[in-house]
Structure 1
């Protein structure tokens, strides 16, 4: 495509807008439509004759804006919660996260073992299968207006728990994949830094709440927005620097600012940015997928998707019930955290750099795409799914009042 970047960005926004209109017409999640649209015009898309619709020049810029989308999605999700609530739920979140990881990681290990893959490929696939997509989960909670539900606190806690796991796991796997060995001391340091940063930021943020209130007490919306966005990007950048996911840094900022007197003003300002850049994240993810490489990974990806759905549902049900949530709320937990995304692709790229099986990248891409479609669908239809399961297992029936579900 011989065009300038501004023209490509304009076309990209038109495609995103069309995907949004289609999603609204179909009453379906916009996420899979944006991913498919990105695949159709990405740098890896096939050229048909003289027709070249690839977004080549603008892809890096769109991907950067997509990273901002993840920050705004997680920042907004953090705004919807109270730090105090999360601290009180710390014990149940730790227990729930451990149960969740044990079940899903074990299933993730078993599947490639049955395929006869080596230990390094097994560890990569186990990581790909075990970690939910924070961006997609956040988008679903916002779009389906579920941020106020009681079980969403556990969903948010599971995402925080998974990020600590990611920090440790990346240290281990990168050592094994790239060098063939890893240092226990390095693993312990990475885990301690990640956990210490999260807890320290939350506790210090609560102590500094009066000072933050004064800092944000400015009449100008322009200056107010600059202060908020400066805090958001700076903390996210610090998170990335110390190998904690930048998205979790954004989530932590949201949690802290939710304790201030300016919560409603912040929420009002950030919503348009959340929607705009959030859509670009999923479109940019599609740009990174090579459609021609997917055919050889169809059956492994389908098997992994089925195992993931089962594992997430079982673990969500166990975690939810142990934490005191109803069968309905526990079902919501298991279905909402099914989607996979950014971390799976990171591990697949790591496997490529380490010279592992070539199938791992198309496997991860197709697996993520399948669950990016099924995850939102399962979450949206959770009421129908629960109704069917309630009849089978004898769970309490749903009330007729729609606002209760």
Structure 2
């Protein structure tokens, strides 16, 4: 006899233990949840009524994980509205372009050298080039770096990546889910996805005044149903036209961020984001067979090294364009290393599209390693900077110069 509710309760118990462990270690919960999911799953034992295989409850856990993706992307959309995005500074645009050119190029190059098929190459390129906004934001808060000068650039890069991933996921999801490989097919998939995204944003901006009025609902219960109903409907509709449901959620967040009800929506969605987000990372771990990760070890390790070097170089160049000190540039390059939710979304997209199973294994190891390494590199950025000073001829770090902007003449030598 299967006990679905009991299994879900057992899963929540494991997630709770993982959360306590993360708090005790003062570490990101993401890699710990993924590891917890990998440890249990179909290969795990059944002890009496406690089935650690999670076979009967797998569809429900997977569904809650999908809701986690929706709420994560919805919340990120709320964090930066279209208006804020348009007001982003020139330095953020330049820095984001530098970052994407370096890391996306590396992301395309590696799977091409491994001889992977074209669709797999596109998915892996996205997995490699997109940082984890959730982990980066948590690290900045945990290390109390929110007020640092370089944090503006870091958050700007996150915003730039979020926009890039919205467009990229739209195109790649159409290509992977429809199987379009001809040029007309690819263009059609891209046009439908981009048309849907642009249409929702333009329509949403025109409806802001109406949304303010429609959402002026005294009852919190009815307000929640209205917001979540619109969120799930748009996400579900996007899936029907072969656009990732995460994109629909992101678009809804971007639109609602323009309304006067933003604070009320954010306060409402945070518990759902945390709950279903935890289920998302745990369910991703459940989908990974640890016995099948061996073949992905070397590709993942190579990609990790290349990613760290590429992110560091991009951070130095982006920070220099913004007039940051060498220490500030170092912090930018090391803080954006973590990979997480976006890479996992792309890996799940690859699975849904029937791509090579190696993509899932690669993504699991790659994300796991960088989700652990990224926060450690960020925490030890001062030590790393001091070791690199002789190499780059940087000045010794002092409390007066740490993270501060430098004169433009120091950034761009006078001719």
TM tier relative to shorter chain:
0.7 to 0.9
Flag the 1:330–1:244 CA change in 2: closer, same or farther, 3 A. farther
- Alignment-derived partner of residue 123 in structure 1: 121
Aligned length: 393
The alpha carbon displacement at 1:215 in A equals: 0.9
Q: Structure 2: which 5+ residue stretches go unaligned? A: 405-415
The alpha carbon displacement at 1:34 in A equals: 0.4
Query: What are the equivalent positions in structure 2 for 1:66-145 lying under 5 Å apart?
Result: 66-89=65-88, 99-115=98-114, 117=115, 119-120=117-118, 123=121, 126-127=124-125, 129-132=127-130, 136-142=132-138, 144-145=140-141
The answer (yes or no) to whether the contact 2:119–2:176 under 8 Å persists in 1 is no
1:157 correspondence with 2:160: yes
The alpha carbon displacement at 1:5 in A equals: 0.5
The alpha carbon displacement at 1:374 in A equals: 2.4
Partners of 2:391 and 2:166 lie apart in 1 by 35
Provide the aligned C-alpha RMSD in A.
3.7
Query: What are the equivalent positions in structure 2 for 1:310-349 lying under 5 Å apart?
Result: 310-322=309-321, 328=328, 331-332=331-332, 335-336=335-336, 338-340=338-340, 341-346=343-348, 349=351
Partners of 1:16 and 1:374 lie apart in 2 by 21
Partners of 1:318 and 1:167 lie apart in 2 by 29
Query: What are the equivalent positions in structure 2 for 1:31-50 lying under 5 Å apart?
Result: 31-43=30-42, 45-47=43-45
The alpha carbon displacement at 1:109 in A equals: 4.0
- Alignment-derived partner of residue 278 in structure 1: 277
TM-score, with normalisation over the residues of structure 2?
A: 0.80
- Alignment-derived partner of residue 211 in structure 2: 212
String of CA shifts for 1:296-324, please: whole Å, max 9, x gaps.
33222211211122223323443454466
- Alignment-derived partner of residue 242 in structure 1: 241
The answer (yes or no) to whether the contact 1:73–1:139 under 8 Å persists in 2 is no
- Alignment-derived partner of residue 410 in structure 2: none
Flag the 1:383–1:235 CA change in 2: closer, same or farther, 3 A. farther
Flag the 1:385–1:244 CA change in 2: closer, same or farther, 3 A. farther
Q: Structure 1: which 5+ residue stretches go unaligned? A: none
Partners of 2:255 and 2:385 lie apart in 1 by 34
- Alignment-derived partner of residue 291 in structure 1: 290
Partners of 1:395 and 1:344 lie apart in 2 by 41
String of CA shifts for 1:267-325, please: whole Å, max 9, x gaps.
22111111111111111110100011112332222112111222233234434544666
1:190 correspondence with 2:197: no
The alpha carbon displacement at 1:216 in A equals: 1.2
Flag the 1:218–1:120 CA change in 2: closer, same or farther, 3 A. closer
Flag the 1:28–1:338 CA change in 2: closer, same or farther, 3 A. closer
The alpha carbon displacement at 1:173 in A equals: 6.2
Partners of 2:182 and 2:36 lie apart in 1 by 42
String of CA shifts for 1:214-268, please: whole Å, max 9, x gaps.
1111111101111111122122223333333322322222222222222222122
- Alignment-derived partner of residue 63 in structure 2: 64
TM-score, with normalisation over the residues of structure 1?
A: 0.81
The alpha carbon displacement at 1:330 in A equals: 7.6
Partners of 2:306 and 2:267 lie apart in 1 by 40
The answer (yes or no) to whether the contact 1:75–1:251 under 8 Å persists in 2 is yes
